[in-house]
């Protein structure tokens, strides 16, 4: 019996969108920018992180051609980020509902969860060494817009 291949890292996530401009704009604010993409039959975007890799693939579709039910299950996608206070200020200014918490010991990473423009859940993770944001009282901050 041969040995199975071993996963080395996450490559990308794929989401579908019926509003590609809104999706592009939303993720651009988080530092993901469109880059080269193969000429697939369906339009879309490949969004690149600073490291130069396309980590979020977006397939453009309208509600008439959207698979029903939507294909697959994506609970959330997590991106590592920096400056938890800046992220908190940004999300509050946008009026987006969110949840900010710390992962349990021994990890203690900061985790911010919020909806993307297509209903997908986005998670931003921050280093545990980052200073607590203003108003942090040691329990999750849950804000509904």
Tell me, what CATH number does 30's domain have?
A: 3.10.180.10
Question: Which domain, by its residues, includes 133?
Answer: 75-145
Q: What's the confidence (pLDDT) of residue 104?
A: 79
Q: Is residue 67 situated within a structural domain?
A: no
Q: What's the confidence (pLDDT) of residue 145?
A: 59
Cβ count near 17 (within 10 Å): 23
| Predicted confidence pLDDT, tens digits, the chain (145 residues) | 667 556 677 778 888 888 899 999 999 999 999 999 988 878 899 999 988 889 999 988 876 666 565 555 576 888 989 899 999 999 998 999 999 999 878 888 999 999 999 888 899 999 999 999 988 888 888 886 5
Structural contact between residues 44 and 58, judged by C-beta atoms closer than 8 angstroms: yes
Q: Are residues 120 and 84 in the same domain?
A: yes
Task: Tell me which residue of 51, 48, 43 sits closest to 21, measured CA to CA.
Answer: 43
Q: Are residues 55 and 79 in the same domain?
A: no
Q: Is 4 helix (H, G, I), strand (E, B) or coil?
A: coil
Q: Is residue 80 situated within a structural domain?
A: yes
Q: What's the confidence (pLDDT) of residue 36?
A: 93
Q: Are residues 112 and 139 in the same domain?
A: yes
Q: What's the confidence (pLDDT) of residue 14?
A: 85
Q: Half-sphere exposure of 51 toward its Cβ, with a 13 Å CA cutoff?
A: 9
Q: How many domains in the chain? A: 2
Q: Are residues 49 and 90 in the same domain?
A: no
């Amino acid at each position: 019996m041969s040995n199975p291949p071993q996963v080395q890292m996450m490559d990308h996530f794929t989401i579908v969108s019926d509003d590609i401009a809104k999706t592009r704009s939303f993720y651009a604010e988080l530092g993901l920018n469109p880059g080269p993409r193969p000429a697939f039959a369906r339009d879309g975007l490949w969004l690149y992180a600073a490291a130069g890799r396309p980590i979020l693939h977006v397939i453009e579709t309208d509600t008439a051609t959207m698979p029903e039910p939507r294909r697959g299950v994506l609970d959330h996608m997590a991106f590592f980020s920096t400056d938890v206070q800046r992220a908190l200020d940004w999300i509050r200014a946008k009026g987006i509902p969110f949840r900010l918490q710390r992962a349990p010991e021994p990890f203690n990473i900061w985790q911010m969860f919020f909806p993307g423009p297509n209903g997908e859940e986005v998670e931003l993770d921050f280093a545990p060494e980052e200073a607590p944001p203003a108003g942090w009282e040691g329990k999750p901050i849950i804000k509904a817009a």
